[in-house]
Structure 1
Amino acid sequence: MKLLKKIFKILAAVITVIFLVLYFLFWNFTAPKSDKEVLNKFKNSSVIPILSYQNFNGFTYRKLSIEKDSTLPTLVFVHGTIGSSTDFIEYMKDSLLLSKVNMISYDRIGYNYNDKNSVQESIAFERDMLQDIIKNIRSSKIIVVGYSYGGPIALALQQKVDKVILLAPAVYSKVEPMPWALNLYKWKLTRWLIPPIWRKASKEKLSHKQDLQQFENNWKSTPNAIVSIHGTSDWIVPYENSKFLQQQFPKNQFELISIKDAGHGFIWSKFDTLKQHLIQQLD
């Protein structure tokens, strides 16, 4: 019996250590990166973006800009939840894309490094911030690319741009999954366990469904041509979101591109496929 108790104590200690190590790695991996860490990711790139801090409605946000030639189109990337400007680094480093486009990526409010501001929980606010960013772009052609929760922000634009490309957009409240893990944020006794950036993401997630209801029946009011690219096996933002959009728009305004068996992380796992689709949309 004593030996059995000793074994259980050792196993409990080992499991605790493993949990703490994994928790620390998860916390560190998902935390927003410092300016130095961000720029280090471009050290082998042929072009280093300009990292700057901009202001909108009293909020400061970080922006990565590669604007080489005003005659080239500009891709403006809008990240999701959880996410940051660094979600699109592989695209901003790609030599073929760099030869064809300028690129801008930015941190939404609440997702910057050491950002003390809360997430805004408002598609309207995010849309207005995006429009403020767009108005200073010198390119003659602007293409907005919204991923996941960045999708409804891009889709809500009432400003005319050349095209809006949605990547697995979360635009339909009726199919919005609410994972059980959100309870860890909702319960005050367990909220402290959640890393700070995930608390912000959870807060935005919980309000997103209701916020969508103010927009989702009127998405077709956008003046822009829409392309939605979605993985058929996406369970985080289900494929039904893009099918819902397809039903709202006339065929000459909307195109649905399905990526068979792809999940929500396809902007990384299907990088080459998505890069080619982006290039095709430049014409």
Structure 2
Amino acid sequence: MISMFLFCFSCSADSKKSLLELKSEISDVKEFYVTAEDRKIFLVTSGCLPNKNKVLIFVHGSPGGWSDYIAYLKDKDLRSSFCILSLDRPGFGLSGKDSSIADLQLQAGLIRIAIERFLKEQFVSDRTKPTLILVGHSYGGPIAAKVAIDIPYRKDALFLLSAPMDSQLEEVRWYNRLATYFFVKIFLPKEIINSNDEMIPLKWQLTDWDGIWKFINFPVISIHGKKDFLVSFENVEYMRKKINPRRFESMELTDENHFIPWTQEKLIKDKILMVNSK
């Protein structure tokens, strides 16, 4: 279990190194620090040209970073259709890993503010008011859902990848408890500590999400592996019960695990492009 936890951390390569790599391949890559209340949120964009009014936004899991989605930022088909934005959540990467925020509501609020400020600067005219697609993986799923509900822009879709939504399915695991001890923490990277701090209160924080689904007025697409051992596949049934069936679509992957942003990149990309073509 710990090895897979660290695998997820390793998927998020060094942020500065990843940015240099991306800039060497893509000419229109930009980086931003956007202030949200007292926090600076780090964003990376590609394909954000003046004629674009479709924005594709990625929110990473825990642990993670903007570079989890570097393949999507590079993808020529996505870049031709969207202004693509990927961010470091508070407590990770270049968004202040020395000061985490282990609170879904607070994080969703800060991220929404940061995205809104970016959009207002990027799309200064009402005639170019953008339409959004949001993608959230794992812990980033409930955050992306709350941002999608609260942000005052049209949403073409919300993608939830291996997302925990049902508080009844969340449990603090033995390695979460182990990682709270000082003699263990001193050997762990800061972002692993921050990630564990997010996991501990997740169960009771998700109870606040029970009431948000009635505000969903846009398509929600769940993509979840049946062999996901970190976030229960039963979360799909929870969403099926909570979300208007006319708004909800589930893609259930029989032999897939938790790490579908990397293992199912083509499937996710093709589905995003399909939604955009409607």
Shared fold, TM over 0.5:
yes
Say yes or no: does 1:165 pair with 2:146: no
Residue 260 of structure 1 corresponds to 254
Deviation at 1:28, TM superposition (A): 9.2
Q: Specify the code of the residue in structure 1 equivalent to 2:188.
A: I
Are 1:115 and 2:62 counterparts?
A: no
> Which position in structure 1 is the counterpart of 2:37?
57
AA matched with 1:248 = K
| Separation in structure 1 between the aligned mates of residue 52 and residue 12 of structure 2, nearest angstrom | 36
CA RMSD of aligned residues (A): 2.5
Render the CA deviation track for 1:187-209: whole Å, top value 9, x for unaligned: 23322122211011000110111
Question: Corresponding residue for 2:169?
Answer: 175
> Of residues 191, 202, 218 in structure 2, which corresponds to 1:197?
191
Tell me how far 1:27 sits from its aligned partner.
12
- 1:19-70 deviation per Cα after TM superposition (whole angstroms, max 9, x unaligned): xxx9xx98994776243x1222315534442012111111112110221244
1:93 Cα deviation from its structure 2 partner:
0.4
Partner of 1:222: 216
Q: Is structure 2 residue 21 aligned with structure 1 residue 41?
A: yes
- State the secondary structure of the residue aligned to 2:85: strand
- 1:179-224 per-residue CA deviation (whole Å, 9 max, x = no partner) reads 3221321223322122211011000110111111111244233333
Work out whether residues 97 and 191 of structure 2, in 8 Å CA contact, stay in contact via their aligned partners in 1: no
> How is 1:1-283 mapped onto 2 (pairs within 5 angstroms)?
29=10, 33-35=14-16, 37-43=17-23, 45-66=25-46, 67-113=48-94, 115-135=96-116, 136-137=118-119, 138=123, 140-156=130-146, 157-160=149-152, 161-162=154-155, 163-282=157-276, 283=278
Q: Is residue 217–residue 247 contact of structure 2 (8 Å, CA) maintained in 1?
A: no
SS at match of 1:88: helix
Cα deviation code 1:244-283 (max 9, x no counterpart):
1011112111111212211111110111111111111212
TM-score (norm 2): 0.84
After superposition, the C-alpha distances for 1:150-170 in whole angstroms (9 at most, x for unaligned) are 110121232353121111111
Note if contact 2:9-2:64 (Cα within 8 Å) is conserved in structure 1: no
CA contact (8 A) 2:12 2:65 kept: no
Larger radius of gyration: 1
Question: Structure 2 CA distance, aligned partners of 1:27 and 1:171?
Answer: 20
TM-score, with length taken from structure 1:
0.83
Paired residue secondary structure (2:184): helix
Paired residues, what number? 259
- Give identity over the alignment, percent: 24
Residues 192 and 133 of structure 1: CA distance in aligned 2, closer, same or farther (over 3 Å): same
For the 8 Å contact 2:89–2:95, the answer to whether it is kept is no
Aligned-partner Cα distance in 2 for 1:278–1:259: 17
Helix, strand or coil for the counterpart of 1:145? strand
